Amino acid sequence: MNVEQLKTDILILGTGGAGLFAALHAHKANPDLDITIVSKGLLGKCGCTRMVQGGYNVALNPGDSVERHFMDTIEGGRWLPHQALAWTLVTTAIERVRELENEIGCFFDRNADGTLHGKAFAGQTFDRTVHKGDLTGIEIVNRLMEQVWARPKIRRLEEHRAVALIPAADGSLSGALLIDVRTGEFRYVAAQAVLLATGGGPTMYRYHTPSGDKSMDGLAMALRLGLPLRDMEMVQFHPTGLLAGPDTRMTGTVLEEGLRGAGGHLLNGALHRFMADYDEKLERATRDVVSRAIHAEMRAGRTTPNGGVYIKMGHLGPAHVAKEFKGMVDRCRDCGFDLAGGLVEVVPTAHYFMGGAICDVNTATEFPGLFVAGEDASGMHGANRLGGNGVANSTVFGGIAGDAMPRWIADNEPGHRAPDAHALDAEIERALYPFGQKSGDLNALREKLLDAMWDDVGVVRDRAGLERGIAAIDRLETELLATGVSDADRRFNLTWHDWLNLRSLCEVSRVIALAALKRENSRGAHFRSDFPEPGDLATSTFTVARQTRDGIEIGERSVEFTHVKPGETLLRDRIAAE
C-alpha cells in the first residue's frame, strides 16, 4: 500500500497537558527543530486535561512544604511510588505553576491578599490545590492551545490517531504510523525523538470519567513494541461519578474531590452518613478508601433508586455551593439534580490509570528516542493518585520531556532512521483487518467488556473473579476478531475507529487483570478480598508487564526507597505527618 511519509524532528503523540507543554518547551529549547503534535480529535477539544475540574497540587503556602506534599504522595500511593519521580513532581510543580501564570497566561483563583488559593482535597494534610473555580482544566488547556497556535513552527496534525510505534531495521525507534480520520489514509511520520503522551483513560469500565475518544491506545502501542509497563493493576476509581441512569452519557462523569474536601456528606439509600463506619477521616479519606466504602454499601443493597449513594452539599449553604462549584451545579441541574440544596446520586467511576510505561526522571524509556509523559507514564503515583496530582504530573513531566528531547537529539545525532518495512506493513494490515471480516454488533461487544471489567476487575477483586474476567476478555477478543466493519469507505469511518478502540481496550484490559492476579495483597486502588492485607511495606514490590512472543509476562521488582523508608518521614515535626 502506498503510504504518505512525513519527517519531523520531534513527534508528540497527544495534545493534553503533557503533549502541549512538551511542544512549547521543545520549541523554546531549540527553535530550529521541526516539531509535530498529533491529536486524535481537535486540538484543545479532546482528551482529559480539559476535563479537569479540581485543580493543581503545589506547595506554595508558608505553612506547607514540598516535603509535606511528597509525604502525602508517598503515603497516598501506599509506598509504591518511584520516589525520584514523586520528588521531581512535587518540587517542579512550584516552577510549573508559576510558568502557567506568568508565561502561559493562566488565571487561578486567589485569596484576599493576592496569593493563590488552595482548596481542600481528600487524602492531603494541607489545602494546596490551586484552581480556577471548578473548571481548572479548561483554563490550562485553552491557554496552552493559544501558545501553540502562536508558534507556527509547531506543526499540528489534528484528527489523526496513532496506531503503532514503528521500529527501525536496527531495532531503534523510527517513528509512528497514523490514520487521518478525515480521509482514512495512513501516514507514516519519521522522527528523531517521539513522545508518547496519548493519555490513559480507563474507559473499559461500566462507569468511567474520561472522554469517549480515550481507549488506551498509547499503552496498547507500547505493549506491542515490547516496552515494560508497571503498576498495571492500579486503576483509580473516583468515588463520586454522577449517576444519572443508563440513558445518558453524563453517567460516570466526575463530581470533583473538592465537594468532599469542602465538607460534603455521603449518604446511603437510607440517608445514613456511612463513611464513619469505614474510616475516621470520613469523606476526606483517599479515593480508594471512599470508593470501597461506597461499593460495600452498594453490595449490601443500601442504595439510591439508580443503585448508588447520595452526595449532599446543602448543609454548607446552597448559595455558597452554587458560587464555589458553579460548573458542577449546572451539570447536575442539566441531569435533574440539585447539587446546591438537594441530593445527587453518585457511584465509583473509573477515573485515572496509575499504570503505564516505565521511564526515568527525564521521561526517557528503555527504547532509545522514545519518551513518555502524562498518564501514559507510571511510577509517580504508585497505588493511588492524590486528587490534584494528575494535572501537575502532566505539566511537570510534559515540560521535562520537552527539555529532554532536544538534548537527546543533540547528544545522539540519531537522524531519521528508515522504518522496518515488515513492521510497517504488518501494522497497516493489522489496522485494516476488520474490513476483511463479516460485520457485527460492536456495541454489544463493548457492553460485554464494560460488564466484565466492572464486575470482575473492578473496585474489589478476588482470584475467582479475576480468572473469570480474563476468560471473558479472551472470549470477547475472539468475537471481536471475527467481527468486521461493513462500510469499506475509510473516510470518517467511526465504526472502524470504534473497532480499533475496542481492540486497544481488550489488550490493556487483559494486562490489568493479569497484573491484578499477580499482586496477592491489597494496596491503594488494588483491593483483593482474598488477600486484604497490604503486606510488608519494607519489602514492597511493583508489578512489571511485558508482551513477549509467548504472551504477557508479569514480573515483580522491588521498590527503591531512595528518599524515605516506611515508618520514616521527611517532616521534622512528626505530628505534622499524622
Closest to 380 (Cα-Cα) out of 389, 368, 371: 389
Q: What are phi and psi of 174, to 5 degrees?
A: -105, -40
Alpha helix stretches (DSSP H) within 457-554: 463-481, 494-518
What whole-number distance in Å separates Cα of residue 69 and Cα of residue 89?
Answer: 10
Length of the chain in terms of residues written: 578
Closest to 506 (Cα-Cα) out of 484, 478, 529: 478
β-bridge pairing 4-13 and 229-230: unpaired
DSSP string, 438-483: -B--HHHHHHHHHHHHHHHSSSSB-HHHHHHHHHHHHHHHHHHHT-
Matching residue, cell 471481536: 480
Instruction: Report whether 274 contacts 266 (CB < 8 A).
Output: yes
What whole-number distance in Å separates Cα of residue 98 and Cα of residue 91?
Answer: 12
Rg (CA), the chain: 23
Element (H, E) at 411: helix 389-412
Query: What are the grid coordinates assigned to 253, written together?
Result: 462523569
Query: What are the grid coordinates assigned to 123, written together?
Result: 487524602
Class of residue 315 by CB neighbours under 10 A (exposed 0-12, middle 13-18, buried 19+): exposed
Q: How are the residues of the chain apportioned to helix, strand and coil, as percentages rounded to the nearest 5? A: 40, 20, 40
What whole-number distance in Å separates Cα of residue 468 and Cα of residue 527?
Answer: 17
Instruction: Report whether 22 contacts 147 (CB < 8 A).
Output: no
If DSSP states are collapsed to H, E and C, what string results for 118-151? EECCCCCCCCCEECCCCCHHHHHHHHHHHHHHCC
| Catalytically annotated residues | 238, 260
